[in-house]
Structures are given as structure tokens and as C-alpha cells.
Structure 1
């Protein structure tokens, strides 16, 4: 009977003191006292990482909670990007940083620029006048990369803040500049030089592309698309100031047109440049490499 009572008392005491398991438990049986040292109960919690790499999609998962979870986690997320990339293309040479919200959505901030005229041949035609081009590009941008199927296929959209300029020099053809269908003697006009700038201060863009992974950390990408830069403002000047001859098929050197000046020819060339819409939609073609953390 004593054994049963002792057992019952011990069980009750142990159960009622589970929350104080670190303290010793004393059970008295007659003149004898028995001390039981309770073992502390250890509860293990598995901490889930704020993000986990997805080798198939090539982005990180579960960062939405980190972004909106508080100031500390927001700072940690912003200062620990999902990826950095280097790129080259029609917008210039540059780089971007990406922050992934989930396995299908990644925010990007980047810049591309430099002299990229050689990437599209270094010259262009505005109607019948051929121009040599030197460019100075600066294109900071903010955008989002979507992976609608959570694989290598991507769709991008965002805003560019363009600060792009073009210096142009006209090339005479057969000793004449043909502007608006009229052939002006190049020796009388002199050198036609000018510049062009985009009117848009903000330019929306859209792309499609692919981003296959080479390893868990390294990948490649390619994108094609367009940015709406708007129309351009142009400025053209002529190096001569005397009278200008116009080719009429009668006189070998052309016929002098009274009152016609090289400056007027330059202004006609300026109007053609501004009417030219090849810069209104700037094509986006770029390739690059990505390192993912």
C-alpha cells in the first residue's frame, strides 16, 4: 500500500511541477526523504530561413515577409540582394541589382550607358542624308522581372530615366546633300553637324527574355524589347555662310538660288531629323551574366 501511495504522490507532484522542471522535487515517505532531480524539458524550434534558393527558377523564395516584416528585416533584405548582373546592349554597358519577392517576381535597379553608336553601325539615314553618329548614353532604370511559369522564361517592364545625346555629322553623297528631295551643293553648304536629344524624361519599357542557370550561383540572360523615348529635339549647323547652288540638271555645278543660305539648308536637315521616328521607339537588345546569392 505504501508503494502505491508513494507512486501516486510522486506522479502527482511531477505532473504539477512540469513548468518548474529545473527545480528539485522532494517526496517524503515516513522518516525518509527522497530527492528527484527533474530534467529540463528542451523544445526545439526549427528556424525557417528568410529566403531559400530555387535552383529551377533561379530566384529566391519567401522574401515578401522579409520585406514587409519590419524595419530590421527590410534593411537586411535591401542590403542583401538576390542577384547582381552585368549587361551590354542597345542601352549601353551597365549592371543591375535584383531583389526577389518570390520565385516569380524580382525587382531590379540598374544603369546602362556609354558610347553605343558602334553597336548599331555608327551611322543612320534620315531620308536621303547619311549621318555619322557619336552617342553618349545614360539610362538609369527601375523595373520588375516576372517569371510567369517560374522557369527560365522572363517578362520585364519598368521605367527608364534617359539622358541620351547623339552628335551627328552629315556625309555628302556625290558632292551634294539631298534634303527634302533637293540636291544642295556640299561645297557651298560646308559641313552639316548637329545633335539630337530625347524629349521624354521618363521612358516606359517592356521586354521578354530568358535566364537559364549555369550553376546554383551563376547564370546568363538575354532580353529583347523596346523603350518609348518619344520624339527628338535636333540642332543642325552649317560651316559655310555664302550662297548655295542647287543641282538642277542644267548647269554642271548647279544654279545659285537667290537668298538661299547654308543656314536654311541646315534648318531643313534639322526638320528631317526631328521627323525621323527611328529614335521614338528605341529597341532594347541586351545580354549579360548574373551572380545569385
Structure 2
């Protein structure tokens, strides 16, 4: 994975740019660039659909902030997933570094709830892998790409195993969030959004499966077709994001 130092350098440049381009109303209100604005103004811990982790926070002015973060781990919001009609057991391995600008239209408002509303736009570096697995035993059948298969004679177990992955992808992000402060230092936040990832790489392999009577498509041919359909289905071009957490500002 690219080093976080590269992303950090980009974030510092963005922080300076965001401050330099602040509108006249911000300058008139007395918010001018200071050297210490290059230092983080807070941190947050977060957990959600892309894993768990945290972020460094910068506040350029009341309307613009930056978040540089990392999410990872094998956290899963579901133990299984239905892919093209086949229900697989799911095991996630998330690795995501991101840099977002957070725009607060009402950042200077006296209303705490209005202050907390923001729009996020940025980019993520993804290295996410999803292990897929489905196993059957004697007397069971498995549907693959609309065809039924059963355990081969003499075998103890049949299966389809594989992986769906978004590896080394740079993905743009857009989201909406709410991050009110509880007091001077502590706050909470929630955010929803999506990364545009493009289609994932998919590979699936079957073991010990044979067609049920009347089916002339081999199990591996059915698996290959299903993997190809997943890799070219528009709905897998977007990775939804939902996360919550707490923040601390100094």
C-alpha cells in the first residue's frame, strides 16, 4: 500500500489551499491563516462497513475541514452475502486509507445542530478482499448461475470457494455526515456515502460438484460464468459506506 506519508503531504497541501481560498466573509470574521493550522486539530475513532480505525482532523476554518484516516480489519456487518442468486459465507478483510474534505455550509452558525452538518468529498486507497465460500454435503444441492448441482459420488463435501477483491484501487468518494460537539472537546459523528470503485476482480472455483439430472452445464463452467457476471455487474461498481464514532478536539 502507498505510504501514509504521501497522503499526509497531500492533506497538508490541501489544508493550506483550503485556507488560502477562504471567502471574504471568513477573512472579515477574523479567520486568517496561521502556521499552526498545519497541525491536526483533533482525532476520531470510527467503526462501520469499511472496518474500524480512526482519523486525524484538521480545521482550516469554520466551513472547511480535512480528515485523513484508515479503516481495516475483518469486521463484517453480515455473515453471508447473496451474489448473483448464490448465498455465500462471507469473510471480509478491509484495508482503506482515505483523505476527505469536509464542507460545513453552516459552520459559523450559532446552532449546534446546523454546525454539525457536512458534505464529504475525497479519495480512498482500497485493498479490500472478500472471501466467498459455500459448502454442501450428501443429499444437498447448490444453485450456481441458475443451475443445480450436487455432491459427486464418493466425495464427503462439495464447495465453491473464491474471492471478490478491490485491490490497489484509487476511488473517489462522496458522502454526508453529522458531527455535533457534545462539549468543547468531545463530539460524535455519523456518516454515509459511497466509493466509486469500478468492478471487482473475481475468481471462483468449484470442488466435487456435479450437475443434477437434466443439467448439462458443468459446475466449473457455471462458476466461471457467475464470476464473470459479478465482475461486470454495475451494482458492484459502488462500495457503500456507513460509519459512526467519537471525536476529540484540542
Q: Pick one of 179, 200, 212 that aligns with 2:144.
A: 179
Structure 2 distance, partners of 1:278, 1:62, is 47
**Structure (1 or 2) with the larger CA radius of gyration:** 1
Q: Could you list the runs of 5+ residues in structure 2 that have no partner in the other structure? A: 1-28, 108-114
Summarize the Cα distance change of 1:208–1:172 in structure 2 as closer, same or farther, 3 Å threshold.
Answer: same
Structure 2 distance, partners of 1:276, 1:186, is 29
Q: Could you list the runs of 5+ residues in structure 1 that have no partner in the other structure? A: 1-60, 67-72, 249-254
Match of 2:220 in 1: 263
Counting strand residues as a fraction of each chain, which structure ranks higher?
2
Match of 1:131 in 2: 88
Is 1:89 aligned to 2:22, yes or no?
no
Q: Deviations over 1:216-251 (max 9, x none)?
A: 00000011111111101111112238xx33343xxx
Q: What is the RMSD of the two structures over their aligned residues, measured on CA atoms?
A: 2.5
Is the 8 Å Cα contact of residues 109 and 143 (structure 1) preserved in structure 2? yes
Is 1:112 aligned to 2:76, yes or no?
no
Is the 8 Å Cα contact of residues 185 and 247 (structure 1) preserved in structure 2? no
Match of 2:11 in 1: none
Structure 1 distance, partners of 2:195, 2:182, is 29
Q: Deviations over 1:111-143 (max 9, x none)?
A: 0111122x1x12111222111111111000011
Is the 8 Å Cα contact of residues 144 and 223 (structure 2) preserved in structure 1? no
Match of 1:37 in 2: none
Is 1:140 aligned to 2:104, yes or no?
no
1:161 is paired with a residue whose SS is strand
Structure 2 distance, partners of 1:82, 1:63, is 15
Structure 2 distance, partners of 1:156, 1:227, is 11
Q: How does 1:1-293 map to 2 (within 5 A)?
A: 65-66=33-34, 73=35, 76-78=36-38, 80-117=39-76, 119=77, 121-150=78-107, 151-171=115-135, 175-187=140-152, 190-198=158-166, 201-240=169-208, 244-248=210-214, 257=216, 261-293=218-250
Structure 2 distance, partners of 1:164, 1:228, is 14
Structure 2 distance, partners of 1:85, 1:237, is 41
